Amino acid sequence: MTTPHEGADPDSPEGRGGAAAAIPAAPPGGGRGALDRRRVLGAAIAFIDQEGLNALTMRRLGAYLGVEAMALYRYVPGRENLLDGVVESVIDELYGDPDVHLSASHGWQDYLQRLAHGVRRIALAHPEVFPLVASRPPAAPWVRPPLRSLRWVESFLTALIDSGFTEEAAVAAYRAYSSFLLGHLLLEVSQKGVKISPEDQPEGVPATAAATDLSEYPTVVRLESLLSLDESAAEFEEALENLLERLEIVLAEGRTPRRGDRRR
């Protein structure tokens, strides 16, 4: 039953060779060798992955590394910066993913597909970290999560423009693509997270306590099993393909978005 059905989710951590796990994240006391920024960030990611974001404090992260909290300040200016570094590191795993390319050498659809799945892999590999990617303010307003680095924005835009998109269409595509990725992945990840994480409530809820009178919501009750189904992978694919189709039309028509409005 561990294998969902026909094909396991190719983006799930167990479902592949771990290409998205660039930083092996040395075990707690393991590193002994000198600390350095990369190690601190790696430990922070590992720590968040296993303990949750709320559990991350400077003191605990220090302990996790077998060191006092203040030692971390030699490599990280402060907590905020640590979190920024975590976000950056996690997104940087994209560079280590052999299935994601920086340029659209096999067509822009292939490029966008691979990029989307690469990001999804990261999100699923670090469900506790991903919300940070969304909530940390980006460098510039037009660097949108989850593609938070200039390098990827550059890559994205040139890939589309080189494939024939107008500049306006490429920018519009970038926005639509970001929204799509962020919305889907944030919901998928939070859904997964709820299954266990939220302040573990050990006492088995007596099946009547938590539910606040469902009698008012008959449809919800009736569809509960449907609602509880996890079709994330299929939905992601579906929405992604729809987006690509939409972009294909834009490309074919060679105009900005849709709509024939003269812009002043």
Q: Choose, by CB under 8 A, the member of 6, 17, 207, 252 that binds a copy of itself.
A: 6
Residue 252: is it exposed, middle or buried by C-beta count within 10 angstroms (0-12/13-18/19+)? exposed
Q: Which is nearer to DNA, 80 or 168 (CB)?
A: 80
Q: Choose, by CB under 8 A, the member of 8, 21, 193, 244 that binds a copy of itself.
A: 193
Residue 71: is it exposed, middle or buried by C-beta count within 10 angstroms (0-12/13-18/19+)? middle
In whole angstroms, give the CA distance from residue 250 to residue 248. Answer: 5
Is-contact 188 121, C-beta < 8 A? Answer: no
Q: Choose, by CB under 8 A, the member of 51, 88, 190, 244 that binds a copy of itself.
A: 190
Please report, as residue ranges, which positions from 114 to 133 form the binding site for a copy of itself (by CB under 8 A).
131
Is-contact 71 35, C-beta < 8 A? Answer: yes
Is-contact 191 136, C-beta < 8 A? Answer: no
198 binds a copy of itself (CB under 8 A): yes
Q: At what angle do helices 37-51 and 79-92 cross, to 10 degrees?
A: 90
Nearest CA among 121, 113, 87, 74 for reference residue 245? 113
Look at the block and give the residue holding tokens 């092996």: 24
**Of 26-34, 39-47, 84-92, 155-163: span binding a copy of itself (CB under 8 A):** 155-163
CB of 193 to a copy of itself, least distance (A): 7
Please report, as residue ranges, which positions from 226 to 255 form the binding site for a copy of itself (by CB under 8 A).
226-229, 231, 234-235, 237-239, 242, 246
Q: Choose, by CB under 8 A, the member of 172, 240, 247, 251 that binds a copy of itself.
A: 172
195 binds a copy of itself (CB under 8 A): yes
Q: Choose, by CB under 8 A, the member of 112, 129, 147, 153 that binds a copy of itself.
A: 153
Is-contact 114 101, C-beta < 8 A? Answer: yes
Q: Choose, by CB under 8 A, the member of 38, 57, 77, 214 that binds a copy of itself.
A: 214
Q: Choose, by CB under 8 A, the member of 46, 184, 240, 247 that binds a copy of itself.
A: 184
32 binds a copy of itself (CB under 8 A): no
